[in-house]
Amino acid sequence: MMEEEELEFVEDLDAILHLSPEVQLAIEHVFPSQDPLDRPDFNAVEYINTLFPTEQSLANIDEVVNKIRLKIRRLDDNIRTVVRGQTNVGQDGRQALEEAQKAIQQLFGKIKDIKDKAEKSEQMVKEITRDIKQLDHAKRHLTTSITTLNHLHMLAGGVDTLEAMTRKRQYGEVANLLQGVVNVLEHFQKYMGIPQIRQLSERVKAAQSELGTQILADFEEAFPSQGSKRPGGPSMVLRDACLVANVLDPRIKQEIIKKFIRQHLSEYLVLFQENQDVAWLDKIDRRYAWIKRQLVDYEEKYGRMFPEEWCMTERIAVEFCHITRTELAKLMRARAREIEVKLLLFAIQRTTNFEGLLAKRFSGSTLTDVPGKKPETPLEPTNPFLEDESEDNVSEKDEDLDRPKKPKAPENPFHGIISKCFEPHLYVYIESQDKNLGELIDRFVADFRAQGPPKSGTEEGGAVLPSCADLFVYYKKCMVQCSQLSTGEPMIALTTIFQKYLREYAWKILSGNLPKTSSNSGGLTISSLLKEKEGSEVAKFTTEELCLICSILSTAEYCLATTQQLEEKLKEKVDKSLIERINLTGEMDTFSTVISNSIQLLVQDLDAACDPALTAMSKMPWQSVEHVGDQSPYVTSVIMHIKQNVPIIRDNLAAARKYFTQFCIKFTNSFIPKFINHLFRCKPISMVGAEQLLLDTHSLKTVLLDLPSIGSQVLRKAPASYTKIVVKGMTRAEMILKVVMAPHEPPVVFVDNYIKLLADGNPETFQKILDMKGLKRSEQNSMLELFRQRLPTPPSGPDGGPSLSFSAPTPEQESSRIRKLEKLIKKRIQ
């Protein structure tokens, strides 16, 4: 029964002491403990098994029980102490709460007393300041009344005086008085409901209207629309009248300006009518000379009559420009067939000169408020007079395209104000440039045929063709000239012409003059250059032809870079809205094609020269070679051809080093696979023959590594990319020969050695190796079957298909093996 009661007690205690994980975690954080008895997942059985792991440990059970009882007593004492300490906590808390409530009540009473005192103080201040506010309001109203009465007195007196001075035409005094009356009247805008004020306002408006009518009549009398101008200079009355017009309605000022300018330019319309000889483009200078004289005459006679801020001189010039543009446009439409290029350029040049002169003399501030005229859309800043005048006489190569950009020129507000009328007729200029460029290309072709290709050993060899620089100098001249005429659609049309003749230059001058092989006299077809029969003599390019190819390559490179700069310059000159239509990418691709074709010609020429030597290698009886000697004759032949061609190409491409590197890489990528293919044709091969071929292969590898600097006095390290290609390709050739040299017995070792050295899972390659060793067909079949069995299972590639990958030996390891092989060969020779 006792045991059952204890079990029930334990179960009740577990239910009471079951804590949530959050509470348990907080307890562990506040009271960390490593004692197993404090763990929430305490297991009594496991704890007892820990205390008594074996039967022998039960001998200490009494000691363990005593320790646990002692620990229980200590826990009981601690619990008892804590419980007793908490007996008086509730009473102390209630007492503290009562004291806090009393303190809050006292604080609330003090706050209420302070609030009552503040309200009493505020009421006292209001009573004190009430009289002061009344006095302030009285003072402000009195001041306003006095000021208004003064203004009213000034307004009444001013209106009377204004009316009297108006009748007497005393404009000098009226100008100042009218401005003051208008300013005073503005203070009475809120009093317009008072009849007397409204009456004064109407009298001011009537006086202004009368002044406007009177001033216009005075100007009409002084400068009548019909007949000649009144003799003598302007009067002081009109000068003062202009000052009054500044204060009146702006329409009065605009009417005065309009009538004066119309009367001042009436003679111009008569002198330069459409039926007059001086009206045509060849005498356009006379128009500008006439306005210059008129402006000088105006400054002398009327400069002081009009206020300076009216800018009358500039207004006359601007109105002259608008009239001239309209008249010239009408005249050119009527006589369009008579317009020639030289005449058009002459007229445009004189006009742009005049526009530049206006920009230097005037600010252009009146262009936005010319009466009856809408402002011209401001064009891009392409003032021709801000360009260097010497650009038209440039005879050097296209150096100005390579110059750093100039700071942006200040905008010319008068640009196009007259010259815009020539834009519809610029097709004449564009057609002329089309014709001139066509003749220029034909002259280049004729000069090239007459002078012939550049000579080897001269400064011309490998240099840029002079015609290229001449073409771009002419392009620069046309571009600058056209940008002065227009920055709109004519520039796009000129760009199209440029594109046309850049392509013609690329095909007629560059590609058309690339040397052709004797087997291809009909035209240049790169793929047919090496279609010669094996073993036959292949016609090589002469030294002059090699120099010509290099010269064409250098010229194409220059054209490529300069065309890109030309595109940037055209985009700077053309309107922003048309920039996207400037695109010379197709022409740059054409020059890139010429460069690629030139490099391919050089590669295939050297490659074809080496073909007979490789053919001779494949026909040699390698099975009957008895001893290893120096390099074979075919190696000497290959090296001879390389030493003949490469120094010439390198010297002629000194200014285009990157293309010489491309030539070396392309030749190596072509020669090495061809060499390996011919190597597979050498069958059967004896052990000594394989050693001789290995020595030859190493010799070719050494020559190829030195190819970029062969025959040069200046030793320059080959590019890393090129060296990597040579080492990778020739190492494969060496590994092929090492496999051939290895014994084929036992077959398993031979197959494993092949897989390790060549890392090639293609059975066809393995078949070629067996052919080179001269094995019988039955032996080859068993070898091939064994090879297929010994191939490692390839992992699946990204596409799910098989993907063979073998770890090939590093180039350093192979170089070490080859050096050992060379030492072995030398010992055999000795």
pLDDT, tens only, 3-49 = 566 566 556 655 556 677 777 788 777 778 777 777 777 777 888 88
Q: Is residue 16 assigned to a domain?
A: yes
692 and 737 inside one domain: yes
More confident residue, 679 or 249: 679
Report how far residue 434's alpha carbon sits from residue 427's, in angstroms, rounded to the nearest whole number.
10
Q: Is residue 121 assigned to a domain?
A: no
Most confident of 49-63, 124-138, 255-269, 661-675: 661-675
Q: Give the domain-ending residue among 741, 767, 782.
A: 741
More confident residue, 405 or 174: 174
Summarize the confidence of residues 269-298 as an average pLDDT.
82
Summarize the confidence of residues 103-111 as an average pLDDT.
90
Asked if 439 and 526 count as a contact pair (C-beta separation under 8 A), the reply is: no
635 and 578 inside one domain: no
Report how far residue 532's alpha carbon sits from residue 539's, in angstroms, rounded to the nearest whole number.
10
618 pLDDT exceeds 60?
yes
3-state secondary structure of 796: strand
Token digits of residue 638:
């290959």
730 and 634 inside one domain: yes
What is the average pLDDT score of the chain? Answer: 77
625 and 585 inside one domain: no
Q: Is residue 498 assigned to a domain?
A: yes
What secondary structure, in 3-state letters, does 338-399 show?
A: HCCHHHHHHHHHHHHHHHHHHHHHCCCHHHHCCCCCCCCCCCCCCCHHHCCHHHHHCCCCCH
Most confident of 81-90, 122-131, 401-410, 601-610: 601-610
Token digits of residue 400:
């100005």
- Domain span holding position 4: 1-32
Report how far residue 151's alpha carbon sits from residue 37's, in angstroms, rounded to the nearest whole number.
104
664 and 628 inside one domain: yes
Report how far residue 234's alpha carbon sits from residue 304's, in angstroms, rounded to the nearest whole number.
9
pLDDT of residue 519: 43
498 and 555 inside one domain: yes
pLDDT of residue 808: 41
Token digits of residue 105:
């009540």
3-state secondary structure of 54: coil
Report how far residue 640's alpha carbon sits from residue 644's, in angstroms, rounded to the nearest whole number.
6
pLDDT of residue 638: 92
Tens of pLDDT, residues 320-345: 888 888 888 888 888 878 878 888 88
As a whole number of Å, the end-to-end CA separation of the chain is 112
Q: Is residue 818 assigned to a domain?
A: no
472 pLDDT exceeds 80?
yes
471 and 585 inside one domain: yes
798 pLDDT exceeds 50?
no
Token digits of residue 335:
């006589």
Report how far residue 626's alpha carbon sits from residue 628's, in angstroms, rounded to the nearest whole number.
7
pLDDT of residue 522: 37
More confident residue, 152 or 716: 716
More confident residue, 535 or 508: 508
Summarize the confidence of residues 61-84 as an average pLDDT.
85
pLDDT of residue 796: 45
* Count of the separate structural domains present in the chain: 3
630 and 731 inside one domain: yes
**Quick one: what percent of the chain has pLDDT higher than 90?**
13
pLDDT of residue 15: 58
Report how far residue 395's alpha carbon sits from residue 612's, in angstroms, rounded to the nearest whole number.
50
Mean pLDDT lowest for which of 160-174, 377-391, 789-803?
Answer: 377-391
739 pLDDT exceeds 50?
yes
Bin 372: left if φ > 0, else alpha if -120 < ψ < 50, else beta.
Answer: left
Q: Is residue 641 assigned to a domain?
A: yes
Q: Is residue 418 assigned to a domain?
A: no
Report how far residue 394's alpha carbon sits from residue 230's, in angstroms, rounded to the nearest whole number.
54
Q: What is the pTM of this model?
A: 0.61
Nearest residue to 556 (alpha-carbon basis) of 449, 649, 668, 655: 655
Nearest residue to 448 (alpha-carbon basis) of 523, 524, 521, 555: 555
**Quick one: what percent of the chain has pLDDT higher than 70?**
76
Q: Is residue 60 assigned to a domain?
A: no
506 and 625 inside one domain: no
pLDDT of residue 24: 77
604 pLDDT exceeds 60?
yes
pLDDT of residue 406: 40
User: Taking the alpha carbons of 542, 546, 547, 548 in that order, is the dihedral positive or negative?
Assistant: positive
Q: Is residue 84 assigned to a domain?
A: no
Angle between helices 195-222 and 89-168 (to 10 degrees): 50
Tens of pLDDT, residues 521-530: 333 333 333 3
More confident residue, 2 or 110: 110
Token digits of residue 295:
């402006």
405 pLDDT exceeds 60?
no
586 and 657 inside one domain: no
Summarize the confidence of residues 479-484 as an average pLDDT.
81
Q: Give the domain-ending residue among 741, 757, 780.
A: 741
Summarize the confidence of residues 671-690 as an average pLDDT.
89
Q: Give the domain-ending residue among 698, 720, 741.
A: 741
pLDDT of residue 793: 61
574 and 657 inside one domain: no
624 and 584 inside one domain: no
- Paired with 802 in beta bridges are 796
Mean pLDDT lowest for which of 245-259, 395-409, 540-554, 572-586?
Answer: 395-409
Confidence of residue 214 (pLDDT cuts 50, 70, 90): confident
More confident residue, 574 or 201: 574
Confidence of residue 462 (pLDDT cuts 50, 70, 90): low
Bin 631: left if φ > 0, else alpha if -120 < ψ < 50, else beta.
Answer: beta
DSSP state string for 727-755: HHHHHHHHHHHHHHHS---SHHHHHHHHH
Token digits of residue 655:
């200014």
Summarize the confidence of residues 717-734 as an average pLDDT.
90
